[in-house]
Amino acid sequence: MNAFQRFSTLAVAGMMLMTAHQVQAQPPAPPKTTDVLVLMTIKSEVPREELTKVLPSEVRATVRLYLDGKLRQWFQRSDGKGVVFILPATTVAEAQTIMDSLPLAQAKLVDHEYVALSPLGPLAALLGPAPEK
């Protein structure tokens, strides 16, 4: 192998290493949203009597969402200020549409905070490289 061939081989190998490093240095794609966490808080100025008038229809509507597969889980907040929902939604907008259909939201008695959830991406590093087939 002459000097030019050795130089060419080294140059190609160097470019391949640089390219591989640049590919690895690219920021990862944003994680895919699989669920949306919704914190529903009763507005502090809402009179208890007004809330209790709407609660029976809220419970029925919430159970209907669960039976229709639009609500994965729901919990009472330990602080007594509302509930927490986990919806199988792929966007916050989709979750907002569902939550806005509920009677407490329609009566403007609650506030919502939305958090998009996704699988833990760093767990993929524990799997290592894909096995050869």
Domains of the chain: 35-117 (3.30.70.1060)
pLDDT score at 131:
80
The reported pLDDT for the residue numbered 60 is 97
Q: How confident is the model at residue 121 (pLDDT cuts 50, 70, 90)?
A: confident
Task: Record the pTM.
Answer: 0.71
DSSP 91: S
Q: Spell out the residues 6+ positions from residue 9 whose beta carbon is closer than 8 angstroms to its own.
A: 1
Answer with the residue of higher pLDDT: 4 or 54: 54
> Measuring CA to CA, how many Å separate 22 from each of 7, 18, 89, 117?
22, 6, 34, 29
Burial 49-83 (b: 16+ CB within 10 A, else e): eebeebeeebeebbeebeeeebbeebeeeeeeebb
pLDDT > 90 in the chain, percent: 61
Which one is predicted more confidently, 7 or 31?
31
| pLDDT band of 129, cuts 50, 70, 90 | confident
